[in-house]
Structure 1
């Protein structure tokens, strides 16, 4: 099934991707709602999945939902949401048995899609509002989660680095929401946010497993009918997940002090590439060489050779123009650690790494890409990534591109790296 080609079906206002595969004994379905990230609504969108999980009109309690799932031969449902670039994705996932392996059963897929239709399109709402008691409980759960993130100093440093580095960008909007927004959320305005998503999002439906595609198409057409009156929303240019690249005028250094034993030194770089660009794959290989595994430049030099870090790694966000380095150090080692980190960036740019290290980094990436093809969720994610990025490259294509990357390509991609922001969280007594 092609992500953007003629094989994509438009059914009941949704883009439906039927992906038959004999790899799996069970069938997996995902329904994804893509909307633009907005600071005004992000906390409501973060809260929405947990409220929807609490019940729908037909199955108004967790117990009623579980009883129905048990009737559906132990089917499982998951509801979640996250940011991908400038988009927010609300996701419904179900795993179900394959009726081919159940004697005298030929309606399970239809029953599962009908259940999913209820969970998505008929929430437990009265007088235009979600139940206030449920909303209050889930608000408190989200509040505790946000507080726990702040108490986790590694997570806190990640958030603060992005806050400072991406000021004015959609990237800086917290996908988990904001504690200060929770008080104003109630059952009514949360339902309004839900309606906005359902009525305006681009919707993609994926089903993979061992089944007859023609029969599955008709099952979806007759059972997943929540958007049957709506025209399909196309992925317009304004919904692209990519933001414009930013140049660095001056490196920002942000230092905060707290009563902590282990300092956090997190650094953000501009890559001037993303998945829409040809040099993103060499940059991905470069990020693996830099800090993606135990034999990487950062690990071997910052941690092993100089014993400066409790942990150190690098991570590329291929949906954005950003690469991050994370490390936990002793506060007094700030200057020395920065010097060694800078040296590893230069080593990457000048090709001061061995051919063996390059091949190991490529091999690890290829294994990850191959592994994504071994699960139903991985196959779905592969196709959805093509939709979000507007490309036609599958994981198989990326495997071939990674295998072809040479030292010169890594050096060329790494030459575009610009240090943007340093965030250092250290002890109050540290200099």
Structure 2
């Protein structure tokens, strides 16, 4: 299949080809494609091959490439596959392969807007049971629309960036008034993030059937959350300082084209969504509102504590995008939206420590014998994810890493 010496089950094999932004030994940042244990300097390779379009990959982010739209994304993937499978191109390509151990990875996009959804019925139900024990766990609107909030794009950081414990107002149950200080209930949310390209004009919604023209690819996303700050501030307008201090994403953007074999039906939506959110059959027998079979692992100080499954999500990425623009809001190249916490019906599939500890009532035991409810200073969280690829291959999304530092 390829002249590269790659194991058939390598997570960054020829069927994957994710994009990222890298540098080496002080060189300028530029776009690379991960293949096996190497990074292909695609601009240098394209320019040596005489492609004028190679200049777009000299940029320090993927945004110029995202702006070119679906036709260019498809053509680039076909060209990359040809370069890496046809022996005639081997000499040219090998000259521009850099061992992954020698590169520094950077934030792959200049984040234009950042929106985070709340698309897991299991997560929303768990949170409702914890915080509204005398009411229905789901709010009346939850099964009619993908609920979301606007986050802070300027605090999206690449995997490996340390996370400083945030400070803010919180109101302990034993105190009559709020106090100020470091968050005592620092949490994670295991999510996927979706990278957008193909800008739209104000007032022009993106139909569900057209969402694929704008969904470029997927990253692993950790929505760090200060639960005590969030609990005090979120009524009546929702998350603010409890979320805006940091969001981590993995450095490799796995394209939607690479995830074709991972498409699965949604678990089922009842009641049927309104027409603008209603999936329709596609020519290949799937749906315009398909889910994705992506398996995540949450590792806390070296111990795997949860294995969330994205296929359990109630709302699909296309439905989230369609709802995000139905009021006429624009899309911009480099927009990012999170799926919301990925949680399942079983305890070991819960994607937040809030759920794993049931709001601090149940301790999580790590391999070294220590016990946790929420994050302590010095803790490290690693999120990883894989999806099925064609012909039994594996599509790796890499990892999203963050270490907690003390408050400043």
**How does the TM-score come out when normalised to structure 1?**
0.25
Q: Which has the larger radius of gyration?
A: 1
**How does the TM-score come out when normalised to structure 2?**
0.26
Q: Greater helix percent: which structure?
A: 1
